[in-house]
Amino acid sequence: NIPSLFCSGSRSSKTFKPKKNIPEGSHQYELLKHAEATLGSGNLRMAVMLPDGEDLNEWVAVNTVDFFNQINMLYGTITDFCTEESCPVMSAGPKYEYHWADGTNIKKPIKCSAPKYIDYLMTWVQDQLDDETLFPSKIGVPFPKNFMSVAKTILKRLFRVYAHIYHQHFDPVIQLQEEAHLNTSFKHFIFFVQEFNLIDRRELAPLQELIEKLTSKDR
């Protein structure tokens, strides 16, 4: 089903963000390979732990890029089902609705459709990841003092895309046989943010039951 990621069709092709690549041969690339190898062992709790001697900022940076790519791909498979008509507001079930603001271009939160919100969100994340002063890819370039707070905002917002997919588009996920992929990706994400306390518990409320179900087997 990958080709659908690249068809813009009548939809804004901006929704399909290019994959953010970590340069080969860099230390971050080695960290990504380490993360993938540990993930392969199937123990997600172990996979998210900071490897010995590594810098926490760098570990969070590499994983944030990876989650952005994963969510981008997962959302890309269901964009045909997430339209202005089907999702006129960005929600995660009847109790949670999100309004968009990025603090610079859009200061006052605006109500918009889910595809528009996710487009704003992914474009904003991409801009953060591409900013070398925030996410330095070169060895020896220090992370800024505000890095962790930026990373927390990125992860908090990426969570909303998972929440929207689970609440509004789970049927197509099952039809496309993406359920296991989505669950594994989300479980990895949750273990990661729990390990380093990166998302406020209140923000996770829309998927609290699912989080308990997915994580209870791995206590």
Domain holding 108: CATH number?
1.20.140.30
In a domain, 22, yes or no: no
Q: Is 7 annotated as a binding residue?
A: no
pLDDT > 90: what percent of the chain? 70
Mean pLDDT in the chain? 87
In a domain, 3, yes or no: no
In a domain, 19, yes or no: no
Mean pLDDT of 183-197: 95
| Residue 87 phi, psi (nearest 5) | -135, 70
* 110 touches 67 (CB < 8 A): no
β pairing state of 97-98 and 90-91: antiparallel
Q: Is 99 annotated as a binding residue?
A: no
Could you give the 3-state DSSP secondary structure of residue 79? helix
Of 117, 118, 196, 109, the closest CA to residue 152 belongs to 196
pTM of the model as a whole: 0.87
In a domain, 20, yes or no: no
Q: Is 167 annotated as a binding residue?
A: no
In a domain, 61, yes or no: yes
Q: Each residue of 78-134: pLDDT tens digit?
A: 999 999 999 999 999 999 999 999 888 889 999 999 999 999 999 999 999 999 999
* 29 touches 22 (CB < 8 A): yes
Block residue for tokens 């990025």: 102
Q: Alpha helices, DSSP H only, in the chain?
A: 27-40, 44-48, 56-78, 114-130, 147-168, 170-175, 179-195, 208-216
Which of 193 and 24 is assigned the larger pLDDT? Answer: 193
> Distance between CA atoms of 51 and 40, rounded to whole angstroms?
16
Domain enclosing residue 139, as ranges: 27-216
- Report whether pLDDT(43) > 70: yes
Split into its structural domains, the chain has a count of: 1
Q: Is 164 annotated as a binding residue?
A: yes
